[in-house]
Amino acid sequence: MSNQGPKTLFDKIWSEHLVRQREDGTNLLYIDRHLVHEVTSPQAFEGLKIANRPVHRPDATVAVADHNVPTINRQNIEDPQSKIQVETLAQNTKQHGIQYFDLMDQRQGIVHIIGPEQGITQPGMTIVCGDSHTSTHGAFGALAFGIGTSEVEHVLATQTIVQNPAKNMRIAVNGELPFGVNSKDLILYIIGKIGTAGGTGHVIEYAGSSVQGLSVEGRMTICNMSIEAGARAGLISPDQKTFDYIKGRPYAPSAKHWDQAVEYWSSLPSDKEANYDHEIIINSTEIDPMVTWGTSPEDVVSVKGLVPSPDSAKNENKKKSIERSLEYMGLQPGTKITDIKLDKIFIGSCTNGRIEDLRKVASIVKDKKIASHVQAMIVPGSGLVKKQAEEEGLDSILVNAGFEWREAGCSMCLGMNPDQLKPEERCASTSNRNFEGRQGRGGRTHLMSPELAAASAITGAIADIRDFK
């Protein structure tokens, strides 16, 4: 990467954070903020203890328990292993002087929801977390990516990470989004187009008028699922919407530094002539509301489409993979997507557990009832999202429609807590992964937007929001 000439947003953040090259040729990248949760950190803290190493910057580290936490009774975690993991995080953060939002704190929530909510996430930062959906924070123009536990330990001990620069990919989506199409459809469409390994080795910058037109929360949904396209990070240029979102939040730059920060943030967007290793241009009119039919996020079709046939595969491996997915999902080729009947609805996760998502769902289910054979739950992304929703009266709209109103956490997105699918149960989910067993052994996941999931809750089968009255 040259220091002269036009630069991408990624190039700019990278060069601002390069501490130096190590003698082995790798780069030492400085990390501005480190988010920590209970599942991927205990072994890292244990490693520090064994080597007698301190945490280099407790002030740049924030911790929360989200994966393992119950969404009903917060006083007591019944699973003894989950309980130990959460208690271990509390002890480790206390010992090292790290800010920890405990389960009874309203600021508790999914780590990728509370970072932005607290104003911790800011443009131009490097942010890491032992969680692949750290890519979410890229919506602010921060270079944010998931790391393994050994790397968590490395960042705790040194506030740096050993990295080599990623390749640059630019995906531009142009035009107004059609009615019924939103950020979730956009990212599912992109993953379907480039595949789950399409972004491997790259950072994806999302651009174009469709992306610029999205709210900051909508942008988070897109960057969140960059990892499902194989990219470790997604990026969107910061703009006035980004600055307005951050201003006044607890961890935002203070009034004293605000103008200086905004001036710096304004210098970050990619230069016009910047070079990308790959560029993809999408016209927004190509995009329909999207639904996954299989067990990989790339197994995606229009809600108006059909379950594909293995015969449509372009090679033998893909054919086998479709056959395996269809068997797991209990689906026949050629079935209309809107004929797929559902058992459960899950609304929440770091992909779609923010206030705007809850507002959309409430507006669709208002004065209606969910289908009698369906169980529907809504898990706000944070305690503050829950509080806001309650202040707006969304909870009563949702409860009246038949939704269960839960406490904040990762919940059924990965089912580490008691919220799980039973074998062969079929779920419309606003989360990010439809892997085999992800939401519970034998559970069948259809990923979609909050709008589609809400409409589907009412009809009891996958529904097209555009047909929904």
Partner 1 sequence: MDKFISLQGIAAPLPIVNIDTDMIIPKQFLKTIKRTGLGVSLFYEMRYDNDGKLINDFVLNTSPYDQSKILIAGDNFGCGSSREHAPWSLKDFGIRCIISTSFADIFYNNCFQNGILPIVVSAKQLDELMAAASNQQEFQIDLPDQKITVGDISINFDIEEHRKDRLLQGLDDIGITLGYQEDIAVYEEEQKIKKPWLFQNK
Taking the complex as a whole, the smallest distance from the CB of residue 149 to partner 1 amounts, in Å, to: 4
Q: Which of 174, 196, 335, 375 binds partner 1 (CB under 8 A)?
A: 196
Show contacts with partner 1 in window 343-372 (CB under 8 A).
none
Ramachandran region, residue 14 (left: φ > 0; alpha: ψ -120 to 50; beta: rest) = alpha
Tell me: does residue 317 bind partner 1 (CB under 8 A). Answer: yes
State the amino acid at position 98 in one-letter form.
I
Tell me: does residue 40 bind partner 1 (CB under 8 A). Answer: yes
Nearer to partner 1, 232 or 354 (CB): 232
Nearer to partner 1, 318 or 336 (CB): 318
Judge whether 176 and 154 are in contact, CB under 8 Å.
Answer: no
Tell me: does residue 414 bind partner 1 (CB under 8 A). Answer: yes
Show contacts with partner 1 in window 236-295 (CB under 8 A).
250-251, 253-254, 257-258, 260-261, 264
Nearer to partner 1, 104 or 255 (CB): 255
CA dist., res. 405 & res. 71, Å (int):
9
Q: Which of 247, 436, 460, 468 binds partner 1 (CB under 8 A)?
A: 436
Nearer to partner 1, 211 or 227 (CB): 227
Q: Which of 61, 136, 160, 221 binds partner 1 (CB under 8 A)?
A: 160
Nearer to partner 1, 123 or 180 (CB): 123
Tell me: does residue 43 bind partner 1 (CB under 8 A). Answer: yes
Alpha-carbon distance values, 331 to 133, 195, 226, 410, 456 (Å): 29, 21, 27, 28, 18
Alpha-carbon distance values, 78 to 27, 81, 135, 406 (Å): 44, 9, 31, 17
Nearer to partner 1, 25 or 367 (CB): 25
Show contacts with partner 1 in window 49-88 (CB under 8 A).
51, 53, 56, 59, 67-68, 79, 81-82, 84-85, 88
Q: Pull the structure tokens for residue 394.
A: 């969304």
Q: Which of 4, 25, 314, 367 binds partner 1 (CB under 8 A)?
A: 25
Tell me: does residue 150 bind partner 1 (CB under 8 A). Answer: yes
**Cα angle 127, 232, 36; round to 5:** 40
CA dist., res. 309 & res. 322, Å (int):
8
Three-state SS for 130? coil
Alpha-carbon distance values, 107 to 38, 70, 88, 94, 418 (Å): 16, 16, 19, 17, 22
